Structure formats: structure tokens, C-alpha cells
Structure 1
Amino acid sequence: MGAFLDTYFLLCVYLILFFFSCSLCFASSSLQSSCKLRRKFHLNEMHKPGDVVLGGLFEVHFTSVFPERTFTSEPQQPSCKGFDTLGFRHTMTMAFAIDEVNKNSNLLPNVTLGYSLYDNCGALVIGFSGALSLASGREEQFLLQENCLGTPPVLGIVGDSYSTFSIATSNVLGLYKLPIVSYFSTCSCLSDRQRFPSFFRTIPSDAFQVVRQNVTGRQWIASEAWTAAAVLQTPRLMPYLSGTLGIAIRRGEIPGLREFLLQIHPDQKDNFAYNMVRQFWESTFKCRFAPPPTGWVEAEGALCTGQEDLENVETEFLDLSNLRPEYNIYKAVYALAYALDDMLQCKPGRGPFSGHSCATLQRLEPWQLVHYLQMVNFTTPFGDEVSFDENGDALPIYDIMNWQWIPDGRTKLQNVGEVKKSAFKGEELTIDEDKIFWNFELNKTPQSVCSENCPPGTRMARKKGEPVCCFDCIPCSEGKISNKTDSMECTSCPEDFWSSPQRDHCVPKKTEFLSYHEPLGICLTATSLLGTFICAVVLGIFTYHRNSPMVRANNSELSFLLLMSLKLCFLCSLLFIGRPRLWTCQLRHAAFGISFVLCVSCILVKTMVVLAVFKASKPGGGASLKWFGAVQQRGTVMVLISIQAAICTVWLIFSSPSPHKNTQYHNDKIVYECVVGSTVGFAVLLGYIGLLAILSFLLAFLARNLPDNFNEAKLITFSMLIFCAVWVAFIPAYVNSPGKYADAVEVFAILASSFGLLVALFGPKCYIILMRPERNTKKAILGRGTTKS
């Protein structure tokens, strides 16, 4: 039911306004009727002629007194009471701004701006009447003072101050697309472009104020309305409100305004505001003119002489230290002036209107000014950027104020910073903390009651649905740091660095490779040196007993060469230990491949010699031995080694192994490794060794059942079986081992296969030479059927 009554009431208001607007249009059919209508309204106004006229609505009086309406006699008009000195200063600020524009040769050259300014007397009906009068003026040039004023319609209006007044005015005048630029209306509802298509404002909307979370506590955070309310700035409230931080309308400076205000005098011959100036004079000097103006001010005291001096009277009218609404009025006038200047500079055929047409000074329409006003962008002499968004709202800018005690017991609002939004720089907050007074012990900055500061190593994370001062401190993830308090984001460390345990700085990543200083590297190195030493010992034993039947019966030249190759195999494993460098990466696989080919080639030739000797022992087989003499054995080994050397050379030339920093295995470590370069080259190298080993195994396997005098074939078969088993197991282990463990697996395979060959081939012979010397005789060897090769 309440909603229905509200809707019904609004409908009645709009109907009354509609018929009232229509009555104005009909009343303007003649100058006489227009004058009659104006006399009925008794509007308090001031005018100045010009090529283009701007309107203004201001509160020159605080309130209005409405007489009782009996309709038994002619209704009396409301009277304005309580002269508002600051409201009059607002009015004069607009007059000053227009005068300044007219003197500016770079802005609106050859065009003179005029104005029609009305007093709303603190009442909606009077302010609305003034707005309709501005919109429905006549084109005849008006005369000054008592004669009827036939004013031309305005092209734009500055005002009104109250949001409720602006809502009512914009609802109606918006139908005619008449631009209205308010300097004090902050209601966010006025940003609705559907309801208010031609409304603009130079004061930020309430939506921009940072009063919306229910933050409570001992430190007050005040909205713009608090700082504008003088009642809250009294000494008796300071014990509770001292130290309050709040925002205020932007304070500006208007050079030349004081000199302009001092020129105001009630006896000026070209006085453009006869009534208002006299009312101001009477209110300021507590006097009255004889006879007094009709019903505006009930001043008591002496008669005004006009000789009073404004500079010698204490009045807030000349206190220009806190120009806030005036600064917005100043910006509003200049916004209209710049928009009009842009509109008049339009070049025919390039205009924004239908058919690319332009507006002309002779035929200006308010809706055309709305288009240019939407795009206006300029900077005031005070350094503030002025432009409007798509809703007609100005770029928000506020002064940050702090409520402070003064030693003499008075209070003041201290400007401690500013917050603003720029079209190019975004939002900016500037605070001078040294100027802030905190209402706490020792005047210390208060801590948030919601969340403590986030220390380095963490980042702030907003709590959903809670005020901005409520947040969680989330530790930075691995590899990221924050090195200052209350960081919003964590930053990533450079590639070769990692986050410290505290996540507050970056440290170089640990490097990992198969080192001589770690237990695994020490064990492998010791094993390699042990194998080399055993090979040297066996070589010494064979050298010392080189003329013994056991050494001579086992092809001493190939045995010595085989021992040398095994020694190289043990030593080449050392190239896989230590920090990888280019030369070690290139040499390790080449040395490994050639050493093992030399080893397996010797075993292969020994196996072939065994088969040849067995064949030669049969009738008619002696001719086969000529193909396996000492020269042929050396040649065969050299050919087999040359093939592996060619494989290694091609591999190193076209896709050489090289050291590489691998960060894929561990995020916090750099694994130094040798990449093989070409997996095909590595596979061919291993494959060739495997081919020779398999061939040796097959030949030895075929000779395993030969008579006892050829039993070395059994040792070769066993050694090749160990060798092949080790390297078959090596391949999957190598592929699945990360980083340094791949090198360890390869070293283990080299050592295991080398020890297998050393023990299987030379262990039994060394045992006989050292432990059973009675069996190391030609008779014993021949008795066992062993044939010298």
C-alpha cells in the first residue's frame, strides 16, 4: 500500500510540473504575459547580457516562508529569509568565472558569455521555478532593474546544490536535453543516464567515497558529509573525534577572485545584481537601505550609506582559504565554456551531427552542447584534470582531512593528502603522514583491528565479503619471494636462483653433479683406481712370467693388449666424475667406446684363434693357421678399432656432447649433466660394442665343448655372458635415472663389465701362476692337452 501511495504521489507531482511547464510555454506567447508571470514569481535574480547565456541556481538565502493559502484573496508569494553569505559568494564566483572567460582571448574568441543567476531560497519550489524560467526565457534583449526582463533561453545551467533539487530539475529539463552541471549534488542516483540524460557534475558521486564497509573502532573514518558539517567540529566533541580521518570536497585556488569580490558595491551604475548586492550589504554591515527592498531582509539598525568598506569588516565572504564549492562552480563554468568553444570550432562537413553538420552561434541547441560536454577534457590552473565519464560524473578527487586540536583550544581540519582518479594514471593516493594527528597515546599510527601486517615472505589475500583491512597473509610459493611488508604479490626468482626458506630473498640454486667429494663419487673413484691397480698388478705378473708356459700358451701379445685396454676402461670411468665441462663431455664417451672396442676386439680375436688352432689340430687343417698369425691378429684389432673411431669422429663433428644446466629434475637445484648431443650417435657407439660382444659370445659358445686343451673358450664364454648381462641391464637403468645418477649408472656398468672381464679371463691364470706353479710347466700344460697358440 505504501509503494502505491508513493507512486501515486510522484505521478501527481509530475503532472503538476507538466502543466506548470506548459503554462510557462503558453505564457511566453507575448512579452507582456512573460513579464506578468515573472512578477508573480518574484524571483531573486541577477543577469548579464551576452551572445550566449549560461544559467545558475544557488542558495543565496537559507530558507523560505510560505504564507497560508486560503484562496479567498490573491495568493502571496513565499519570502526568502536568512541571507547566506557563502551562497552569495558561490553566485559571485560564477559571475567571476564568466568574466574571466570573456577576458581570455584563447577561449571563445569573438563570443561574449552572459548569465542569468537565480536564488533558490533553500526551497525546491522556488529553485524549480528558477530553472523553468531559465529554460523558457525570451529572445528579446532584457533591460536592467525595475523594467520587465525579457531574457533569452540559456544554453546550460550550473547548479543546483542539493541532490533533491537537481533530481527534480533534471527530471524535467532532461526531457529537453538542457545540460545541467551541478557543483554540489553527490547522490549516486544522478549517474543514471536513462533518467538524467543531460546531467553532469564537477563534484564526485557518493559512489566514489570509500563509506561503505561497517568499519568501527577508536579511529573514525569520516565521509565527505562529516567534514562539511561544522556542528561535528566543535571543541566538546574533540575528545571523541580528534584524529578523525576523512575526505572533503577538493579545495582549489581561484586567482583574482578576491579582487573581483572587493569590487562589489551597491551604488555601481552598471550594477548587474541590484537586489542581491543590497541584500548582501545589509546582511554584512547590519544596516538597511531606505526604502528597503520588497520583503527580502528584515534588517534592523542604521541606514546603509554605501560608504561601508568590505575590507574593514570581519566576514567569511572574503575568507578564500577554503574554496571548495566555489572551485567546483569555477570548473563547471569552464567545462561549459570549453564545450561551447569546441562546438563553435567545428568545421562544416566534419561535424558530429546529422549529415556531418555543425552547430552555429545563431542556432545553438542545448542538446548539441550535451554532446561536446560529454567529451570535454581540460586542466585547471590548480593542476586538476576535468572530464566526465559516460554517466556525467567528474573524475573523483578528494582532499584527505585530519581533525586536529590547536594549542589555543580551537579545532581545525588539516589537509594531509589527496585521493584522485586520473584518466591516464588511474587511482592515486597521496598522504603526508607527518601531518596526521592520531588520537592515541604517544600519537602513534593505529594498527588495524582486523589483520596484522603481512611480513616479508608472504602476500596479502583479501577476505571475501570483508573490509579491505581484513586479509590473510599467504606464504609465497616455492621459487617466489616478497621482500617488503604488506606485499600484494610475490615475485619470481631469476632462473638460476631459488627462494630462501623464509621466502624473503632469492639465493643461488644448489648445483648437483657426480662429485669427487660425495660418498658415491668417492666409492666409484676408489673402485676405478682399484681396477686400474689390479690391471697393473696382473700386467706386472704376466710381464714377469712372460716366458712361462701359462703366459706363452694364452697368446701373450693379445693378453698384454687386453690388459692395457681393461686398464683404459677403468680409467675412462673417471671422466664421468666431476663437474661436466666441454672437453670431458666430448672425451668421456669417445674414450669409453674406443677402450671397450679394443677390449672386446682382443677377446674376439683370441676366440677366433682358439677355433683356428682346434681346426688346425685336425688332419689337413694346418693351412688355417696362416690366416691367424701375429700380423693378422694386430690388423684385425686395428680395423675393428678404426670403425669405432670413425663413429666417434662423426658423432663429435656433427652433434657433439656438451655440458647442460638441467632444471627439470628439481626446481631448487641445477643439475649439471652432459647431454649426448645425438642419441643416434650414442646408440651406434653402444650398438657396435654390443655387436662385437655378441659375436665373441657366440664364437666362444660354439667352442665351449672343445677338448680340455682348448678350455680358454669357456672362460671367454663366461666373461662375455657377464659383459652382455651388465650392458643389457644398463640401458633401462640409464634411461630411468635422473641427473648425476645416470652418470653413476654408466660408471657402474663400465666398472662391473671391466671387473667381469678381468676376473673371468685372468683370475684362473694368475691363480696357477702364483698359487700352483707346478702346473705352470710345459709338461703339465701339454698333459692337460693345452696347445700353444
Structure 2
Amino acid sequence: MVFAISEINNNTLLLPDVKLAYVIYDVCGDMKRIMDATLSFVEQEAQKGNDVDNDCGPRALIGHSASTMSMVIARFLGNFHIPQVSYFSTCKCLSDKREFPSFLRTIPSDIYQATAMVHLVIYFGWLYLGTLANSDDYGQQGIAQFLSEVEQKGLCIAFRQNLPMMYDVAVLRHLGEEVEKSEADVVVIFSSEDELITFAEELANRNVSGKTWVASEAWASSPVLKTSIFSHLFQGTIGFGLRRGWDTFGMNSTECTGEEDLHQVESAFTDVSDLRVTYNTYVAVYAIAHALHNLRDCLDGAGPFENSSCGAKIHFKPWQMVETFLVKCLKPSTDLEVFDDLRVAAFDSNALKMDFGRTLLLYLQNVRFLNNLGEVVTFDENGDPPAVYEIMNWKPDAKGEMKIAVVGIFDSSLTPEHQMKINLSGIVWSNGRRNVPRSVCSESCLPGTRKVTRKGEPFCCFDCIPCNDGKYSNTTDSPDCLHCPENMWSNKRRDYCSLKPIEFLAFSDPIAIILLTLVSLGSTPARNDYARPGTFILECRETSLVWIGCALSFLGLLVATCIFLAFRLRKLSSAVNESKLITFSMLFLLLVCLAFVPAYNTTAGKYNIATEIFAISAVASGVLYCNTVPKLYSVVKATRSLHISK
């Protein structure tokens, strides 16, 4: 901020003859200090009034970095229409102009980041995800937006958990166990660096590896998490970072001798290779300066008010930069920001009125200028800038140390199909892999199967059940199997249906030759499609069940009559007694019938017909032979005896 104000004060084109001053408050992340600083700021604005001798009244505020803190400040400043520009508060809730009418920011809203994350997971084909988020407004609203969009796209969530704001061993262990055991290989984390470090320590203790982490901008460029302690955990991380503004940055300090060699110093203050949040602060100062410039030089007919008026005409008088006021509570910052604090830029004019805040706010909302990168800086109706993110990948360098490489970009101002560009060849995933990792609960069900969701698990976790006989599925992840048409049957893979083959006992069949060709009285050719599923059997089917019943009844009557008469005639002389022969032939018939029943039930198709023929032939032959063979034997024996006697 100091660097930007110094540039502006030395710029002869922007606010010439006007010097900007500033007051810096460091609230140390403490809510009480935030309230004190905000009330002090508002009190100065209220007491200034029309005092033309007040040469150093605050006019706009730059800060805070945390969304929750910015919300507290914005609720106060909004009542007085005092412009507030944040450089790092991303919660989408701050876009609500009914609640925060004077809040603007130079960092994109999380609504854009959540959308960018959805684009990313869809781009890589990740279907099964886990999510972790801070328990504050930043994490909760950001992850809620992400979950809302991915569920609309049909993606599946394995788990959704919150990181504790305060150190809690039990909670961290539970989270670590869930992440370690989860089948989801991709985890999206909406968190700040501080809350994530304690969880990373738990993961390091468990030696969790092989996961792919999707990082929000608050930790995507963390210098702590990419150290050797956590490098095995986060190698392959892919995330979104703010645009870098410069490659070098210069500023003076009265405590320096001028002989220091900063190349020999390694700290967050001297690392100028990754200036992201710092650049947002730089842009915020320039946005206010351009708004003041437009306000001062406004011409009637070109202003932002009704009828293109300029509102209250403001003329600044020259004044010098005042002494910096600093509440002593300094701590290191991850960017090259001198203080992780609430920044207050104070602007002065001895012609400012009580409604100056409202006037400046309107000019700030309509500001439009080119930054040092040649890009247009502007705010939409919600006070948000266009969203441009660098897509970053954590991978080891030649020395084995973790570095953050830019592998793509996301620009919300482009059409959806052109918003994301990624260099796949430049990405290194976890465990040094080059191929894009997969993250699915269940692999897709192939044709020939149907998908059945597992009870009690997310909808993307399912089993693939093969289709039954006579059914098929010809699409991937089919929810049901379809019945084949009546004259068709499914193949072995159950992925299509084909015509049923026709099977019959042909004259050329060896079985038919052995059995001869038998034609049954009262029978006609018919097609049987149930004896053997998937095959048509040509057979002789009886024309009437009554005929079958009569035939079997007659056969049974004959058997019963034969047995009865044979029993009654058993005492006659053996010369004319054939009862034994009749009895034996009937018993043979019963044995054939007993053997026929299981044989017929265990065969199918044409072999059923063969079984019937065997049974009929056996019965006929048995009755014939049992009755005639003994008689023939007796005749032959008697004839031989007669010849011998002669």
C-alpha cells in the first residue's frame, strides 16, 4: 500500500497537485481491536463535518483480509456510506449490496472460485470427491457453492467435513481417519493456511499419500505447506491462485542502512516471486486514487449522477504526506505485505462535506482504468472484479524441493467453453505420476449388466449385476435389463438378442436312425420354446389333452385288467397258464415307466423326444418278448423232444 501511494504521489498525471496520506491499523486478528479501529475511523468521519481546517480526515478504507472481519467492518461503514475495499475477503456473502452497500474488493468472489473448481473437477473427469472447509464464512459459503454446483452436474460426494477453528485432537483424528480410509482420491479444500496446517500435521502422522488435493486460493500458494515436512502429502496438489502483479517489488525503510544484500535473506518479506495478495492491495489503492481523480475532474454531463451530473464539485488543495500511525502488534505475513492488518487510506480536502463518502463511493463503483499489466480494472454491480485465477500445480524441482508452477488459467469474463485453459503436459500428480488420477467409487457397468445402488452409500457407489437369461442391456450404466423379443434370445454377454435356433430330431440324426421313424396317431408337428430356453424345439404335440387323458387311462385300464386276470388264473395248469408271463410283462412296463420319469425330466429339446421313443419302444418290445419268447422256447423244446423220441 505504501509503495502504491508513493507511486501515485509522484505521478504527474494521476491526481496532480494532490498528495495522499494513510493511517495503518494492525488489529492482530483480534475482534476487539477491529471494533476499536472501526469506531475510531467512523468517529473521525463524523467529527470532521464541515471543518475546513481538518486537513487529514480519513475518506476510504482498505481491508480487512478475512471475510468475517470485513463483514463486521462493512456493517458499520455502510451506515455512513464510507467506501471499503478489501484485497483478500472472498466470501460471496459480501456481494450482497443490501447488507454491505459500501463494500468493494479487488479479489474475486468465492462464487467464481467455486465455479472454477467445478470446471476443474469436470475437466479431469473426477466423479467421486471429498470436501473439507473452514468453519467460518469463507469456508462454509465457498464449499456450499461448490457442492451446489457439483451436485447439479451429477458428481458424487464421499464426505463433507469442517476443519476445527480451534485445535481439537479428537476432531483432527476423526477427520484424518475418514480421509485416509475414503475411496475418494480427490479432496477439495476450502480453507485458509492456518487452519489447514494443524490438519496437515495429522495427515503427516498417518503418512497419508496418493491423494490429489484441490486448493482454494487461501492456501494454494502456502510457503509453509510446501516445505519438506508436508511435501510428500501435497505433491500433485492443483489449485487456484490470484494473478501475480509484478516480478519485483521495491520499498524503502528508515531502519535499513542501504547496504543489505537481500539475495542472502530468505523470508516471506524478501520472497518477491509470488506476489498475489500484495498486488490486490496495490490495485485497491489505485482504484481509490482513480475514483478521486474522476471526482475532482468531473465535467457536467459526464458524471455518474442523475442527468449525468457530477454531484458535489470537489477541488483538492495540495498537502503533504502525514506521518504514519501504527498500532504496534506486528507479525510476519505470507505475502510481501508489511502488516497483516486493516489498511486505512486517508484522503483530505478542505472542501469536503459530510456526504463526501457517498459521492466517493459512487465514483469508486463506476471506476474504470488500466493497471500496470494493461488489464481493465472495474467493479460489477456487486462491487466484485472480474475473476481471473492462475491454475497452479505443486511439483518437485530438480533439487527435490517443492515448487509451485502455473499450468493454466481461468478467466470468468470469457465464454464457458473458453474460460479454462490447462497445460496437461506440465502437471505432475501425486507420487510423481504423469497420468491424470481417477477418482470413482465404482467403475461404469458394461453392457450386459444393470446398475444397482448400494444401500447407505452415495449414489455413485453401485454394483453391476449381470442380466438374466432372455434379457439384455446395450448401454453403459444401464439401470435395467430389457426383455428380448419373443422369437429372440440374449447372447452369452447379454448385450444383444439374436434369433432363437430351431432344434429337432432330424431323419439324418443318428438317434433317429437307431429309433426308426415313429409316427404317433393323433399328433401334429408343433414348436416348443419353453423346454430349452433360447431354442425352438420342433416336436409332435398332442392335439388335445382329452386325447392324452383317454390314452393314458386306457393304458392304465389294460395294465390293471391284465394284472387282475393273471392273479385270478395263477392256479390253472401250467400248460395253458400264461399268468406269469403277463405278470412279468406288466412289471417290466412299470419299471420302464419309473425309469422314464426322471430321464424325461433331466433332458431337454430333441432328447426329450428320444426319451419318449425309447420308452415306447421298450414297453412295446418288453410286452412282446415277455409273452412270446417263453412260448417260442416251449415250442422249440417240445419239437426237439419229439424228434429225439422218434
Please give the range of the TM-score, normalised by the shorter of the 2 chains.
0.3 to 0.5
Q: Which has the higher helix share?
A: 1
Q: Higher relative CO (CA 8 A, sep ≥ 6), structure 1 or 2?
A: 2
TM-score, L = length of structure 1: 0.36
Q: Which structure has the larger Rg over C-alpha atoms?
A: 1
TM-score, L = length of structure 2: 0.44
